[in-house]
Chain A
């Protein structure tokens, strides 16, 4: 997939996530409309769409947060649940704050480095619960995030038991783990920022009604 196509796909994924609180048929209709809009706009571009074309199409559409805000307007009950699927309450809303991505990823890094001692296993479970419950990450991202520390711990134990020198191997995996955490931090923070944007404009409209 080209860079441009990836950005368009990411835009639609982000919007889909922000619309989680809408009823499925309406959500599908909004997403279909936006997809057809993008396809129609791409069809009018001669040849392969350039980065400038994609920028213009996305700028004209407005941010996923703005579209989600329009979709969730007139739904005061749903407004603070922009992404909390089906209304599971305010605590899930709390888990979409900007503090969540750095806390989870730095937490996983620190706990991961100390995971050979059982004392950090309880905080580990807490951090993983936040990761899984938050709507800031997609399911595959959550699965990767949850797998990092146990995988590292299992490999470390294997090293101790067999006594074989897998240090280089371990370093490589450690780097992979850190890269994964950085990706999770960036993606989560971007969605948290979008969510914050949606929330900031929503109370202005809800407050008057």
Chain B
């Protein structure tokens, strides 16, 4: 059976998207809907803004992000997520590993084409 594009994306997202969430917090704390809108804008990284919340729960459980409440001008108080020290280090490790991984995939796909 040929896997569907959506099936392949599901596999690729696993293990990568949570670091994109961490990366989106590098500029400072943010709240769920803001992160979700950033990451799901093109539909590649996430298939639905709601899929962010399981990721955030998992990241908080592993101590990579922490939460605090902040008032909002447009509605109820918001739960803000911020990187912990450990989260920052985890992100650095991922960035180091990702670059060679991406090049290796790119080059092997490129070779296959010729």
Contacts and interface: CB of A to CB of B under 8 A. Distances in A.
Interface of A: 15, 26, 29-30, 32-34, 36-37, 39-44, 60-64, 66-67, 69-71, 73-74, 201, 204-205, 208
B57 A29 contact: yes
Nearest 7 A/B pairs, CB to CB: A62-B48, A43-B75, A33-B53, A71-B54, A61-B50, A70-B51, A204-B7
Nearest to A202: B10
Interface string B1-31: 0011011001100100000000000000001
Contacts of B51: 62, 66-67, 69-70
Given A62-B47, A63-B48, A204-B3, A33 B79 contact: yes
Contacts of B55: 70
Contacts of B36: 37, 60
B56 A39 contact: no
A26 B40 CA distance: 22
B103 interface: no
Interface string B91-107: 00000000000000000
Interface residues of chain A: helix, strand, loop or mixed (majority):
helix
B112 interface: no
Contacts of B78: 36, 40
